[in-house]
A and B are shown apart, each in its own frame.
Chain A
């Protein structure tokens, strides 16, 4: 029996700030790698997270698209793709909330919290892995968009910036999702709750249809909510057009979400039971 006779691992009593920071980074990477490994081990995750947005692309492009009028010379597929990409990033966060709720339920988070590891690493590792996963999904959807007629009309750098903005937007939603996952702590409820807020904020926006086609009272909401700002900015980056106002509002909203929900998620993690 080696367990008890061997000394406990010799760690200094109070590690220095630098050591603690190095550990936090190392722990985050270890957990991010684990999360990606789990993702790779379950091909169904991969398939479902990609198939769902692909279905949206095909449905809006070929089923609803014919009936939706876009003002100006823009084709519907060019209008649609930035919207779908934004929605893909937002919906990818379901997995974040569900995974955290599951880990909470199974006691994985209890185990990790009872260990001498960085307390920030579980959340950070989850966000790093999920953002990476989200980026892959976004790139796949861009490729699918190209196959059904979408083109970037505004050059390479704005195209890259659009993907970056979509990813940062996804990260912000991810932080909200992490908070809901930890605060609610039950996967079915988390999933149901995700639908309740993600569906309205993505569909009641400029993602799929021009807002002018909505009734006035709805326009008031759709015109002034963050998803519309982000999608408008992405659309301007992808196909050109005025960008300034929407860009600043997007940045302000995304920063605001991270500032509010980041600490809330950390608090929910620390209190998780």
Chain B
């Protein structure tokens, strides 16, 4: 078995996967160079988890090819398993056991000797700031600590390619920032990382390259800056306190913007790309809104965020989809949920 160490750490070509009528992946391609971070960004149900499950040998693709560390995830699954680490959406740890026992158990299953497992566990407990809690059952841990322990468990085998499936979903903002720091330090060490997220700021913050997935297709790829460039320059944004005037505001501003303005009916926030016209557009915008007699708050010009990118690419905001996804999730059983979300 040859290992192509010069090629990308992850190579995906034309990958498709359906669950009955649900086409989770409809032919995706991606390549992740060694030592870099790929952020796979998309709403719930976009196909992110399905892609991760195929790449980590948990699921067989219908069509297409995927190589991890130069090895085929279908034909050389056992070899792939030796070079990957996986940390999923929930903390896959044994809650009745202590943090130390959890890590030692994983070490033993990697066929490390007893002393090796022990020292590897100590190392990881230190690295993930869990030394004080090492001998407490994991069920006494906070959500953030459990996720750290889970991430530590995925590193026991010193993987060269790490998969993190929504590593901060469900974490409070502080734990989330802590997790970002940990992920950054992993990447500095040279680990190749594929990270899925539905948070645009997370991809912006951590990823070298971003792939945007929606309905099982890659709809855009590039660096965060490149994607932002797609929006076409700056964004003029303001809030309309009186929701009844929202449509008036949109028609007033339409002539100022370069693209279609987008209005969020729940928050009353209106945004429109204005290209490179900057302050000129700002003044025109104020005049147009004043002329239409629409009251606004917080009118400002800003750099585009990945939210704007998502909006520009898909025509709907990432958050809207996410809300629908959550509502759907609560009614479904776990099996359906996995399928629907994958």
Interface residues of A (CB under 8 A from B): 1-9, 11, 13-14, 23, 26-27, 30-31, 34, 37-38, 41-42, 105-108, 110-117, 121, 185-186, 189, 273
Contacts and interface: CB of A to CB of B under 8 A. Distances in A.
Interface string B175-187: 0000000000110
Interface in B194-228: none
Given A4-B190, A11-B82, A108-B92, 19 more contacts: A3-B155, A3-B186, A4-B158, A5-B189, A7-B158, A8-B83, A8-B159, A9-B112, A14-B1, A26-B111, A34-B97, A37-B101, A41-B137, A105-B334, A110-B58, A111-B92, A112-B109, A115-B110, A116-B157
- Of residues A23, A114, A189, which shows the largest number of chain B Cβ atoms within 10 Å of its Cβ? A114
B123 interface: yes
Contact of B56 (A3, A114, A189, A273): A114
5 contacts: A1-B127, A1-B185, A9-B157, A41-B137, A110-B88
A113 B57 contact: yes
- Of residues A1, A7, A37, which shows the largest number of chain B Cβ atoms within 10 Å of its Cβ? A1
A4 B88 contact: no
Contacts of B92: 106-108, 110-111
Contacts of A42: 96
Nearest to B86: A114
B157 A115 contact: yes
Interface in B85-141: 86, 88-94, 96-97, 101, 105-106, 108-112, 123, 127, 137
A116 to B, nearest CB: 4
Contacts of A14: 1, 78
Contact of B111 (A1, A3, A11, A31): A11
B108 A6 contact: no
B154 interface: yes
A6 B153 CA distance: 16
Interface string B304-334: 0000000000000000000000000000011
Contacts of B160: 4, 8
B239 interface: no
A35 to B, nearest CB: 9
B88 A111 contact: yes
Nearest to B153: A111
B134 to A, nearest CB: 16
A230 to B, nearest CB: 33
A1 B333 contact: no
B294 interface: no
B16 interface: no
Given A2-B123, A4-B160, A107-B90, A114 B97 contact: no
B59 A273 contact: yes
B81 interface: yes
Contacts of A6: 158
A273 B58 contact: yes
Contacts of B78: 14, 116
B58 A185 contact: no
Contact of B94 (A26, A108, A116, A186): A108
A2 B92 CA distance: 23
Nearest to A121: B109
B325 to A, nearest CB: 18
